[in-house]
Amino acid sequence: MAIETIKAALLVEDPSLYPRLQTNSLEIRDLVDALQSGAILPPIVINKKSRVIIDGWKRRRAHMRVFGVECEMQVDARGYKNKVEELKDAIALNAAHGQKLCRGDIARCICLAEEFGMDKVDLATAVHLTVERLDHFRLTKTAIAPGGELTPIKYTTQPWAGTKLSKRQFAGNIRASGPNARFLVDQVINLLESDLIDKTNELLMEKLARLAELLKSYARRGKKAA
């Protein structure tokens, strides 16, 4: 372990090595609170040659938020032969501490591993799963993007797992949230039936009007298909 001190602004965030679907702003806020209370966070792991962050995106962002973009921080500078080695370490380190890898994150790891040719056994070891369980995740948590590459499928759109998505479906899957579609629809129905819609919220009323138009269009398409 080679611990060095370097300016946070010089470190590089490479999205192709980030094993999570997205960064957690609430966890960054927690890290900010910890730093402001005097806590010392573990060094960020980086590629010593390229300065690409292998593990520690949120720690870097928290440091910059508290101490400014020119702040210095400790890093664990390591040597890597290739992208696969970087990815293997990035996944293993993220799975070992901090925020737990969710199922969507594991699906993203599967996609990245296939993109860069990472061995399946190595991936299973990194995310602490059996190869059989990993295969199950691939079957139920990924789909084929319009370009032919593997892409994580959200829980909301899970019925499309294993299928090839159209461009519109691909974009919609990226925008989709966590809960399943029935839950989301039930929530809207509950608000409408319970008279809990804030009618003074102009943007909300515009969205509901748009929803009504889409439902009418969807119903017409359904009748034609029948």
The pLDDT assigned to 224 comes to: 61
Separation of alpha carbons 50 and 68, rounded Å:
22
Domain boundary among 43, 75, 100: 100
Domain boundary among 68, 100, 132: 100
pTM of the model: 0.83
Total count of domains within the chain: 3
> Does residue 22 have a pLDDT over 90?
no
CATH number of the domain encompassing residue 93: 3.90.1530
Give the Cβ contact number of residue 215 at 10 Å: 10
Q: What is the largest CA-CA distance in the chain?
A: 67
Whether residues 167 and 206 share a domain: the answer is no
The pLDDT assigned to 123 comes to: 95
Whether residues 105 and 79 share a domain: the answer is no
Whether residues 151 and 128 share a domain: the answer is yes
> Does residue 177 have a pLDDT over 90?
no
Whether residues 15 and 94 share a domain: the answer is yes
Give start and end residues of each alpha helix (H) in the chain.
Answer: 25-36, 57-67, 83-96, 103-116, 120-126, 131-141, 167-175, 181-193, 202-225
Tokens of 171: 């974009």
Whether residues 86 and 113 share a domain: the answer is no
Whether residues 121 and 48 share a domain: the answer is no
Residues above pLDDT 70, as percent of the chain: 97
Region of residue 56 (left: phi > 0; alpha: psi -120 to 50; beta: else): left
In a domain, 147, yes or no: yes
Whether residues 84 and 114 share a domain: the answer is no
The pLDDT assigned to 40 comes to: 93
Q: What is the pLDDT of residues 115-173, one digit of tens each?
A: 999 999 999 999 999 999 999 999 999 999 999 999 999 999 999 999 999 999 999 99
Tokens of 54: 């292998």
In a domain, 47, yes or no: yes
Counting Cα atoms < 13 Å in the Cβ hemisphere of 202 gives: 0
Separation of alpha carbons 175 and 154, rounded Å:
9
What is the span of the domain harbouring residue 121?
101-182
Q: What is the pLDDT of residues 38-58, one digit of tens each?
A: 999 999 999 999 999 999 999
Whether residues 69 and 45 share a domain: the answer is yes
Separation of alpha carbons 182 and 131, rounded Å:
31
In a domain, 120, yes or no: yes
Whether residues 9 and 96 share a domain: the answer is yes
In a domain, 159, yes or no: yes
Mean pLDDT, the chain, rounded, equals 93
The DSSP secondary structure of 150-175, one letter per residue, reads EEE--GGGGGGTTSBPPHHHHHHHHH
Domain boundary among 53, 81, 100: 100
